[in-house]
Chains A and B, each alone.
Chain A
Amino acid sequence: MDLQVTEITVLPGKDKNGETEHFDRIVIRSGETLAIVGPTGSGKSAFINDIEVFARDDTVTGRTVLVNGAIPPDDYVRDPAKKPIALITQNTKCLADLKVAEFLEMHVRSRKIEGDEIISETIALANEFTGEKIMPEARMTSLSGGQTRSLMVADAIFVGSTPVIILDEVENAGIFKDRVIEVLRRYQKAVVFVTHDPLVALMCDRRVVMRNGTVVRVIEHTGEEEEALSVVKKMDGILCRLRERIRAGEALTGGVQAL
């Protein structure tokens, strides 16, 4: 694992009309969070894919991605054990036939990591992100979206131990997103969120706004949105509690004021 990755730089490509994108460069450093927002089809996935494959003007967008200011070595792309980025996709239901512990064991083996505790630590961390407990004996396919995503995040922190993590719509999985953000900050990860969620977007240090395949604006977290953030936090808290009560089968008589 190369711990020396301290920043990732995205250099502009071309928009759908072939014009150069209107930003100079977007840099993301360890411990920083970046949100990618925009309507469906605006190019969010292409943006994270460019980062994930270290685009070198060889993707549809024509962007280039640098690591520590330079073109990264081929190993970063080709050797997963040296790749400093983990992309966690929306759909993680693909590896059909393994138990959770077997899956992690296989990943640990591919990384040639010593020690047995790492598997239980990873599952324990994953269980901090989700309300439904993940058991080592459970089959990967039987996990819910939230459980799988939680497991992938925990895996990226402990097993992959990548300095950069990209999360595609973490909020859709019923995962404790504020806890995920907090843990990722604690481990000094550089994190990119593709998100439609106001809380995730406002909590990030920077927000990249996409439209028609191109970056139209970068909004810095300067404190001007602090007021909105605190309201959104409260609303999110209410929604979380509501969700739990609905899940528990309660009838919400008496309105939501008391929550």
Chain B
Amino acid sequence: MKLVVIAGPPSAGKTAVVRQVLRNLGTGETAAYLKIDVVRAFEDEELATEFGIPTRKVYSGDLCPDHAGIMVMADALRWAEKEEASVLIVESAGLCLRCSPYVTQALGIVVLSAISGTHAPLKMGPMIALADVAVVTRIDLVSQAEKEVFREGIREVAPGIEIVETNAVQGTGMRYLLQRIAEAEEVQDAATVELRGVPPLGVCTVCVGKKEIGWQHHFGVVRRLGDAGTLFRGD
């Protein structure tokens, strides 16, 4: 079974890309789909109805969705295996963009919208840098020069990344993504799948629900105004 992890900022067109992939997946391929979201998601129901494939969703609630994804990934692989899927597509909610949900033995796809501004790729760091393929959606809305300048931004973050430009609603250019999925390697050993990058330092007392303001009320990985580094107090 292959594992495809799709990430990207909200409204970039991730689900439209998933739809195109499902629509054009080769005969003999069977997909399973997992959506990781924060509070509400409908994609699992929609895609199950549309394509008749097994789908699931997980709400991360107060936890970062990418962290939730990491927690459930191993179970998801077992589930998709049981469903006899040949491809498991995991779509992340994509929120703070500091993190990268891609794992080893998988194909990592980042979805970006061509109309999100020249500096958008530069603001996304690991989510682009650790991906295998960048899919640029809404390409029909920008002129040639804009496309090239946007690509330049992506290449600045990830010089070797493969770029696929598409109008995901119509599916133009999608043949290159499908080709890449077809060539992707299978998961060799689900027990050894791990994250490609180190997750950002995260949890402090704000994240566990303390309401007081000011750094002196908090511990964990915290930063004061004027500090260059991060401060760690207590445990």
Chain A residues at the B interface, C-beta cutoff of 8 Å: 45-46, 49, 53, 55-56, 58-60, 74, 77-78, 80-81, 83, 85-89, 91-92, 94-98, 103, 106-107, 109-111, 152, 155-156, 159-160, 162
Contacts and interface: CB of A to CB of B under 8 A. Distances in A.
Given A59-B170, A59-B171, A60-B170, A94 B142 contact: yes
Interface in B114-171: 114-115, 117-119, 140-152, 155, 163, 167, 170-171
Interface of B: 114-115, 117-119, 140-152, 155, 163, 167, 170-176
Contacts of A160: 144-145, 148
13 contacts: A59-B171, A78-B176, A80-B147, A88-B143, A88-B144, A95-B150, A96-B117, A97-B117, A103-B145, A106-B118, A109-B152, A110-B148, A162-B144
Given A53-B172, A59-B171, A92 B151 contact: no
A221 B175 CA distance: 37
Nearest to B170: A60
Contacts of B140: 45, 49, 89
Given A92-B146, A155-B145, 19 more contacts: A53-B173, A55-B172, A78-B176, A80-B144, A83-B144, A85-B144, A86-B144, A87-B143, A88-B144, A89-B142, A89-B143, A94-B117, A94-B146, A97-B118, A107-B152, A110-B149, A110-B151, A152-B145, A159-B145
Most chain B Cβ neighbours within 10 Å, of A46, A59, A80, A103: A80
A49 B167 contact: yes
A227 to B, nearest CB: 36
Contacts of B148: 80-81, 107, 110-111, 160
Nearest to A149: B143
A159 B152 CA distance: 15
Contacts of A53: 172-173
A58 B143 contact: no
Contacts of A46: 170
B143 A152 contact: yes
Give me the 5 closest cross-chain CB pairs, A-B, nearest first: A86-B144, A110-B152, A94-B115, A96-B117, A80-B148
Most chain B Cβ neighbours within 10 Å, of A55, A56, A107, A156: A107
A106 B170 contact: no
Contacts of B145: 86, 103, 107, 152, 155-156, 159-160
A232 B51 CA distance: 53
Contacts of B142: 89, 92, 94-95
Contacts of A98: 118, 149
A139 to B, nearest CB: 12
B220 to A, nearest CB: 34
Contacts of B143: 86-89, 92, 152
A2 B187 CA distance: 41
A62 B18 CA distance: 22
A155 B143 CA distance: 10
